[in-house]
Amino acid sequence: MGLGHLGSAAAQALRGLGFQVQGWSRTPKSIPGVTCHSGANGLDSFLAASEILVVLLPHTPATEGMINLTLLRKLKRDGALGSAHLINAGRGLLQVDTDILAALEQHLLATATLDVFPQESLPRESPFWQHPRVTITSHNAATSDPRFLVRNVLAQIERLERGEPLEHTIDRALGY
């Protein structure tokens, strides 16, 4: 769920491991070997085909609270794994924690692997810490290697000097 830079790379990596990959994004995308869905009209068909939901969406007003009980009910639960699984490595404000817990208790989800939370650091009293079907991962996506960062900054300066558009810019209207 999310087919930007991270989501596309994840989809291709999963495809390379032999997974049948479905993807969903706000706007239409085309990724070889990946069945792509988009927009509000494509969301339900994407969810119905998804037994493992990997969330790599940005946080925007449109995505806040999107991972809720209504959405989780639409996941595929009769596939090879026999139940639905959630992995959120996107943003914490995408998920409604109480709804994830309810989905686990109602057996709509077999497991949840969560890297992010609406409140970080996750409070000690959170039921996620002790839940037997929840895995919590530490939220540290990458280290900032100055050698890589400098190359990227220099490439952007060169693009600007050539009169080319900059890469990886933020669209303030979209929020990412």
Query: Is 91 one of the annotated active-site residues of the chain?
Result: yes
Q: Look at residues 22, 25, 42, 106 and name the one whose alpha carbon lies nearest to residue 69.
A: 106
Query: In terms of DSSP bridges, do strands 134-136 and 84-88 run parallel, antiparallel, or are they unpaired?
Result: unpaired
Catalytic residue among 26, 73, 91, 172: 91
- Residue 21 in tokens: 């990959």
Query: In terms of DSSP bridges, do strands 34-38 and 52-55 run parallel, antiparallel, or are they unpaired?
Result: unpaired
Query: Is 151 one of the annotated active-site residues of the chain?
Result: no
Query: In terms of DSSP bridges, do strands 21-25 and 109-114 run parallel, antiparallel, or are they unpaired?
Result: unpaired
Catalytic residue among 15, 37, 139, 151: 139
Active site residues: 91, 139
